[in-house]
């Protein structure tokens, strides 16, 4: 080979060097392109980002729990036991929170009618929503669920009291979220002689005790008035007289519950309680 040929060969080799180098670089870049997203160009999660992700997930789980709690649990009614208790198709019995109706077992005044009203509101198979009260017990000593019972958006605990079929009952003095409303509705029903308040006029509105539905006042302790005769519209017993004022009544017998006619006009504000 002559000198000229040698020069041409060297020149060609030198000229191809960048091309070969470039090809090698291209091959190397393609190899990096198949790495996982945790390559140097896209760093993986650090301890801080992982902790933040877990915190967000916990928050979402708590949020879903609170939403479920607010919405309550759905169930179907099997049958009505009495005016404040139902049985579910799934088995449990549900006692309505914060209300009480007359007892069927003792044939108490208005007990059958209270059950009949609840049966009309909750026929067999009716879909209901059961909601707890965070301030109150969720199960009673008999194993019954303690719940507010809703149907079609209506709180039936409240509705039974509004209709005069039930009285508010704050067991052990505990007051739930609807306590004020229940008492106000019961007072309005009593004034209007609605439901049990009209059928059982001697019934007292005493929300810290179970309702005792009475058609007539119980006989007074000690035999009543000296003449043995009581004016029927009052509890405790007031003697039959041509007229009587609060000043004529001993303080030990006050206040007077007006359970029927008020011939002495003692209940000026019509709330059923006189001489307060």
The string of DSSP letters for the chain reads --HHHHHHHHHHHHHHHHHHHHHHHHHHHHHHHTS-TTSTTS----HHHHHHHHHHHHHHHHHHHHHHHHH-EEEEEEEEEETTEEEETTS-EEEETTEE---TTTT-TTHHHHHHHHHHHS-TT-EEEEE--TTS-SB-TTS-EEEEEEETTEEHHHHHHHTTS-EE--GGG---TTHHHHHHHHHHHHHTT-THHHHSTT----TTS-----SSPPPPGGGSSTTS-B-TTEES--B--S---GGGS-GGGPSEEE-S--TT---TT-SSEE--
CA atoms of 65 and 38, how far apart (whole Å): 35
Burial bucket for residue 132 (CB in 10 Å: 0-12, 13-18, 19+):
middle
Phi, psi at 167, each rounded to 5°: -115, 150
Which of 129, 81, 71 has the alpha carbon at shortest distance from 104?
81
Exposure string of 141-162, with b = 16+ CB inside 10 Å and e = fewer, is: eeebbbbbbbbeeebbbbbbbb
Residue 28 tokens read as 């190397």
Q: Which residues of the chain have pLDDT under 70?
A: 1-70, 217-228, 242
* Contact in structure between 212 and 225 (CB atoms under 8 Å): no
* pLDDT value of residue 114: 97
* Contact in structure between 210 and 238 (CB atoms under 8 Å): no
* pLDDT value of residue 70: 56
* Contact in structure between 94 and 147 (CB atoms under 8 Å): yes
Looking at the chain, the domain(s) classified CATH 2.40.50.90 span 72-199
Those residues whose C-beta lies under 8 Å from the C-beta of residue 260, and which sit 6 or more positions away, are: 201, 202, 232, 233, 234
* pLDDT value of residue 243: 73
Q: Which CATH architecture has domain 72-199?
A: Beta Barrel (2.40)
């Amino acid at each position: 080979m002559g000198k000229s040929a040698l020069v041409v060969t060297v020149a060609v080799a030198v000229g191809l060097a960048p091309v070969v180098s470039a090809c090698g670089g291209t091959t190397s870049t393609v190899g990096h392109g198949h790495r996982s997203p945790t390559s140097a160009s896209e760093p993986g999660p650090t301890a801080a980002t992982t902790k933040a992700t877990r915190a967000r997930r916990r928050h979402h789980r708590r949020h879903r729990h609170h939403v479920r709690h607010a919405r309550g649990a759905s169930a179907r009614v099997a049958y009505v036991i009495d005016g404040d208790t139902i049985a579910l198709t799934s088995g449990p019995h549900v006692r309505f929170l914060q209300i009480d109706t007359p007892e069927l077992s003792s044939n108490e005044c208005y007990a059958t009618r209270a059950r009949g009203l609840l049966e009309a509101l909750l026929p067999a198979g009716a879909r209901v929503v059961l909601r707890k009260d965070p301030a109150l017990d969720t199960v009673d000593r008999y194993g019954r669920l303690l719940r507010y019972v809703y149907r079609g958006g209506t709180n039936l605990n409240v509705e039974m009291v509004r209709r005069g079929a039930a009285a508010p009952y704050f067991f052990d003095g505990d007051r739930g979220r609807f306590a004020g409303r229940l008492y106000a509705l019961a007072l309005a029903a009593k004034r209007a002689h609605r439901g049990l308040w009209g059928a059982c006029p001697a019934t007292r509105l005493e929300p810290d005790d179970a309702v005792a539905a009475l058609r007539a006042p119980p006989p007074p302790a000690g035999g009543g008035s000296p003449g043995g005769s009581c004016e029927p519209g009052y509890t405790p017993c007031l003697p039959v007289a041509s007229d009587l004022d609060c000043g004529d009544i001993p303080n030990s017998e006050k206040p007077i519950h007006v359970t029927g006619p008020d011939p002495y006009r003692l209940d000026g504000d019509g709330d059923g309680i006189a001489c307060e």
